[in-house]
């Protein structure tokens, strides 16, 4: 079992809890490089549901056949989102991540047509404006990962009328970030850049790493932290302020 291979549940909780506590981006990326070999089994042990929930949400809203949609998986990690996408018939998958170790694991899955190293927040996405039918970012919106200021860059590479799906944790340690994130999301909507389609709170996001993070009214033995899935549609003719044009895509993107 994954739990036996990666250590006891308490060890897994300690690793994941440590990742939540790192707020420096450089330290976080180094942690993910070292964590990559155990990442999938660790998050499976914690019953991490965000990839499936996000893809379920996107699938219900995306028009047209899945195989025709060009999808960008931002902060793709080891490819858990790509596995969910492929299971639902999505075949044109591109991914970016800031961790070489995670990208190596994602490449081994063989699900992506293109993978790129990109530290979002420090550099633009390696794609032209209006490239993708949908952009997802699952599990990377927290302190020490992708800053809220990078959200407009996701919009830039999305086609007019395309979808952007985001997730974040809503447990106590991430509430300050979530407040800043929602302020950014709301400003973009008020500016006419996109419209919110879904804001889906989820109580059972993943098993808590400590009793301080447990959703109220649950016990620590089986307690979960909470999270939320957002889905937006980019408005036709949207002008996204504060984003410089990205580079031309490399061959194959």
Note the pLDDT of residue 243. Answer: 44
Using alpha carbons, select from 157, 248, 245, 207 the residue that is nearest to residue 50. 207
Sketch out the chain's domains with CATH numbers. 9-213+223-234 (3.40.50.150)
Q: What is the pLDDT of residue 76?
A: 98
Instruction: Give the model's pLDDT for residue 122.
Output: 93
pLDDT recorded at residue 105: 98
Q: How far apart are CA 45 and CA 3, in angstroms?
A: 6
Distance CA 80, CA 37 (A): 13
pLDDT tens digits in sequence order for the chain, 253 residues long:
334 444 588 999 999 888 888 888 889 999 999 999 999 999 999 999 999 999 999 999 999 999 999 999 999 999 999 999 999 999 999 999 999 999 999 999 999 999 999 999 999 999 999 999 999 999 999 988 999 999 999 999 999 999 999 999 999 989 999 999 999 999 999 999 999 999 999 999 999 988 777 756 544 446 899 999 999 999 987 666 544 444 444 433 3
Structure confidence at residue 17 (pLDDT): 86
- The side-by-side arrangement of strands in the sheet containing 92-97 is 114-117, 92-97, 70-74, 132-137, 158-169, 224-234, 194-207
Predicted model pTM: 0.89
**pLDDT of res. 237:** 79
């Amino acid at each position: 079992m994954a739990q036996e291979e990666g250590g006891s549940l308490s060890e897994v909780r300690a690793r994941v809890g440590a990742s939540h506590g790192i707020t420096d981006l450089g330290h976080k990326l180094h942690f993910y490089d070292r964590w990559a070999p155990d990442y999938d089994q660790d998050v499976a042990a914690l019953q991490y549901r965000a990839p499936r929930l996000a893809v379920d949400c996107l699938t219900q809203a995306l028009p047209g056949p899945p195989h025709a949609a060009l999808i960008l998986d931002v902060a793709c990690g080891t490819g858990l989102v790509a596995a969910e996408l492929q299971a639902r018939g999505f075949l044109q998958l591109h991914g970016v991540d800031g961790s070489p170790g995670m990208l190596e694991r994602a490449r081994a899955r063989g699900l992506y047509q293109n993978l790129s190293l990109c530290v979002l927040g420090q550099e633009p996405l390696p794609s032209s404006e209006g490239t993708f039918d949908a952009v997802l970012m699952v599990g990377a919106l927290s302190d020490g990962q992708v800053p809220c200021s990078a959200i407009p860059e996701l919009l830039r590479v999305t086609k007019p009328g395309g979808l952007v799906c985001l997730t974040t944790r809503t447990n106590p340690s991430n509430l300050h970030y979530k407040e800043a994130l929602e302020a950014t999301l709301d400003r973009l909507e008020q500016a006419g850049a996109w419209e919110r389609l879904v804001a889906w709170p989820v109580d059972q996001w993943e098993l808590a790493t400590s009793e301080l993070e447990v959703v109220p009214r649950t016990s620590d033995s089986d307690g979960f932290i909470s999270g939320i899935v957002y889905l937006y549609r980019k408005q036709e003719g949207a002008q996204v302020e504060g984003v410089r044009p990205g580079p031309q895509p490399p061959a194959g993107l």
